Chain A
Amino acid sequence: MSPAPLKREVYLLSRIGTKDSHTLAAYRASGGYKALEKVLTGGFTPQQVTQLVKDSGLRGRGGAGFSTGLKWSFMPDPAKDPRPRYLAVNADESEPGTCKDRVLMEKDPHGLVEGILIACFAMRVRTAYVYVRGEYRASYARVAAAIAEARAAGLVGEKILGTDFACDIWMHQGAGAYICGEETGLMESLEGKRGHPRPKPPFPAGFGLWGQPTTVNNVETLANVPFILERGADWFKSLGTPKSPGNILIGISGHVARPGVYELPLGISARTVLEESAGGVWHGKKLKAWLPGGSSTGFLPGSAIDVAMDHDSIREAGSMLGTGAMVMLDETACTVRAMQVIARFYDHESCGQCSQCREGTQWLAQIFARLERGQGRMQDIELLSSLANGMAPGKTICALSDAAAIPTHAAVKHFRAEMEEHVRLGRCPLLAPGAPATHELEEAHA
């Protein structure tokens, strides 16, 4: 849909698929740690690095899409605020549908390590923590091994590359809670507490980990940093769109021929991702609905597949880019069932602090479950809207409540007819007569 064709260039995944891409030797052979060397020995000041990242227009890849350089600049000046300061790397990739950071950590862990080191230099951070999702054991092992290798090679620890720059990187394995991917929940968890998000303000840059200045960055965000330092802000801006520059890792899953993680410029048409990268909807079926960026972003109808995959275009289309995790549903899929699964997820993962979220996520899940079983009432559809309005936006400490409310609003908007059909028929209309319903199958297996 964009007037000029987008420049295609692969950098984030350029090492993926090469032999031993996770080792230091292979990483260095392909030009790794050159950006760090340039930063440390090329006369860069921390401010210049931050400015460069700001100029590049890099937006966080964790879901919110906030300017990375700007976020870094929120860290207080160490001359005025000598407290210890931290970088927390959010590798708790748990949004349903999202699996992009995992590829980077398993196949190119040194890219992350280099990004961390540059970020720490820019923010004058001495200590970084990588918070890895508990289930990501391979990621944990690969990143831990990469840190050990880098430490042995003088790239992590004291006097990095012979300079006065010192930086330690520590690993932390999560225990499987989605909420620990929320930045303040992550910090609480790192501190050894329950992953209960903190009210903001105070913001992490002033009062973060252990009450000290802290920045939380996503893995993919940091993986972009060495390339920006090496190739410059202008190169980065030559990719993607003016407001959303660079490439993004799109994890596409669901009813497609070739699910996977693909690196594409921001602003790429979703249809291109679906048809060219993922080989189209499987078995020649038609696209019914899709999530552009993970379970919290809200379904778009299949007809909206020509939208550009960048922050602003997707927002205009009524959803969010999120983590760029596209989940595709073909015409045989029951959207009520899909919403039931999503609502159940948020009920399961709500931390339980805020009343609206704790009770609301459960309530939504119960209503979607009833609708899916054919036990819904027509007024349940209005009730869903009304409850979602009570849960969001901005009514709770963190955005998990929003994450449950947003897809609910989208479902009422796009799938109302299908919900009503469920109510009228008293069962799922897509179910062959006599076939067991999903919940019956589930109960049979339980």
Chain B
Amino acid sequence: MTKIILNGREVEVDPKKPLIAACHEHASHVPMYCYHPGLSPVGSCRICQVEVKQGEMPARVVVACRTPVAEGMIVNTEAPKAHEARRQCLEFLLKNHPLDCPICDKAGECDLQDYAFQENQGEGRSVEPRRKLEKRKPLGEVIVLDQERCILCSRCVRFFEEVTEKPQLTVAGLGSRSVIATFGDRPLTGNYQGNVADICPVGALTLQAFRFQARVWNLSKAPSTCGECSRGCAISVEVLRKGEIKRVRPRHEPEVNDWWMCDHGRFAFPRLNEGGRLAGALARGANGLEPCELEDALDEAADLFRVHGRPLVVASPWLTLEEGQRLLALGRALGSECLFVSPEPSPLADDFLHTGDPCPNRRGLTELGFTAAPAADVIARLAGAESALLIGERVAELVGEEALAALPAALRLVLVDTHPLDARAARLELGAPDASERTGTWLNVDGHRGALGIARSAPPGVPPLTRTLDELVRRVEAGAPTSPTPGRAR
């Protein structure tokens, strides 16, 4: 570690990181546009100017992102000269900026807006016409470019060059006529396009899917983990007024995904907004599946398993460690084998983040003692079973709703799922929360523990899966069958 004096305080900093990282680590706010900790520093936006004094040399104003730290360096981020240089730089950046913040999706999380606000730079001195450029230029299906808002920081260019190592964007044109472009206006390709909207410091690159969807200050943000593959990228699930998920963004997690995530994971959330959820409990009555009290459904499920012993237990691959442990306890109490359904590998696998394994907790469930089973195997096993418990988010969908519907009524099926299933075998159906509605832990492909966070509440009558399982275990272990409810088929 290297000791420097930062704003009058001696601090220890990482000598491998540029000065700007040291400033940020020690709560000295230095603005940045072209600098991003996940990309190489280019020192082109010039907004991070600070005053540095080294040895006997007179104090100089330098860009913090291109300045290595050195023992004994005296840094003053608020020196009048440095502050003035940043203000001047800001004025230049705002000269052609359209200032359409009221209709800009980035407003509220825009680095340029924040710094202009902080510096109280409300009025410009320019009377020249602002640059007129393309305001909505699609760069493929994911990203829309607003050339007028762009401050040419080149983060997006470097993202494709350095992170995905498949260069796609460049700065075209010279000087004040520069724009971000692809070669020959080809659309962007690949599974990582969305990241450039996250790292764009202004509203130049926006997500097609998020344009005009929400003001970001109205979003409540929950840290969570992506469940689209076994990488388990750290994410932020962002919900508008406790209801709809509007956006999923990566969260910085150096052990898993750094600042990035794939588009497949990023844009998986609309499924969670679709509705058609299984709320409360359903039990098969004279007229098919009918709503019933949750407590009654739990009682009935426990009875069913005791009478038609050793049900086949099939879990969703989205089950958390906590849910898995309880399900195993239930399995032990029932003398059942516990499987989890393992869908076909995804062709999206790459050498960056996407593992191609659609089971976010394969490692966790396997280590607990679950056996992975392809959907076809599950169906084959179900066909020969007397009773079964299918449990977890989207488990019926992953096993195959049509195949489940074709199973004979003789199979007494208890389903605990996010969505109802229309199948004659289904005797009881209980609601389960989805990944945005529960806590828990997934173990990713490398053994990293990824926590799920509650971004919104589950539909009414849907308890946490852990509680449902605890209740089932308690009832099964209590032993004595409760009295059968009249009029219900067993």
Contact = CB atoms under 8 A, between A and B. Distances in A.
Interface of A: 177, 179, 194, 199, 347-363, 366-367, 370, 377, 383, 386, 389-391, 394-397
Contacts of B126: 363
A395 B85 contact: yes
Nearest to B95: A359
Contacts of B43: 199, 397
Nearest to B97: A359
B132 interface: no
B46 A362 contact: no
B202 interface: no
A347 B128 CA distance: 14
Interface residues of B, number: 33
A362 B47 contact: no
B49 to A, nearest CB: 7
Most buried by B among A348, A353, A366, A386: A353
A354 B154 CA distance: 11
A359 B42 CA distance: 18
Contacts of A370: 128
Nearest to A377: B127
B470 interface: no
Most buried by B among A348, A351, A352, A357: A352
A348 B174 contact: yes
A359 B174 contact: no
B171 A358 contact: no
Nearest to A353: B44
Interface string B170-204: 11011111100000000000000000000000000
Contacts, number: 93
Contact of B176 (A362, A367, A386, A394): A362
B47 A355 contact: yes
A199 B40 CA distance: 12
Interface string B6-46: 00000000000000000000000000000000000011111
B88 A352 contact: no
B175 A363 contact: no
Most buried by A among B46, B85, B93, B152: B46
Nearest to B178: A352
Nearest to B129: A366
Interface string B229-251: 00000000000000000000000
Contact of B92 (A347, A360, A367): A360
A355 B45 contact: yes
B96 interface: yes
B92 A356 contact: yes
B151 interface: yes
Contact of A194 (B91, B92, B171, B176): B171
Interface string B157-181: 0000000000000110111111000
B125 interface: yes
Contact of A355 (B61, B92, B170, B173): B92
A362 B128 CA distance: 10
Given A355-B89, A356-B92, A390-B88, A361 B175 contact: yes
A75 B388 CA distance: 77
A363 B126 CA distance: 8
Nearest 7 pairs of A and B residues by beta carbon: A390-B88, A350-B175, A352-B178, A362-B176, A359-B92, A353-B44, A366-B128
20 contacts: A177-B174, A194-B171, A350-B174, A350-B175, A351-B175, A352-B152, A352-B173, A353-B42, A353-B152, A354-B44, A354-B45, A354-B46, A355-B152, A358-B175, A359-B92, A360-B92, A383-B125, A395-B46, A395-B49, A397-B44
Contacts of B125: 383, 386
Interface in B73-89: 85, 88-89
B66 interface: yes
Contacts of A361: 175-176
B242 to A, nearest CB: 40
A349 B175 contact: yes
Contacts of A356: 46, 88-89, 92
Contact of A363 (B46, B66, B95): B95
A359 B88 contact: no
A359 B49 contact: no
A394 B49 CA distance: 11
Contacts of A395: 46, 49, 61, 85, 88-89
B80 to A, nearest CB: 14
A396 B66 CA distance: 12
A436 B92 CA distance: 34
B214 to A, nearest CB: 30
A358 B152 contact: yes
Nearest to A375: B127
Nearest to B96: A359
Contacts of B151: 355
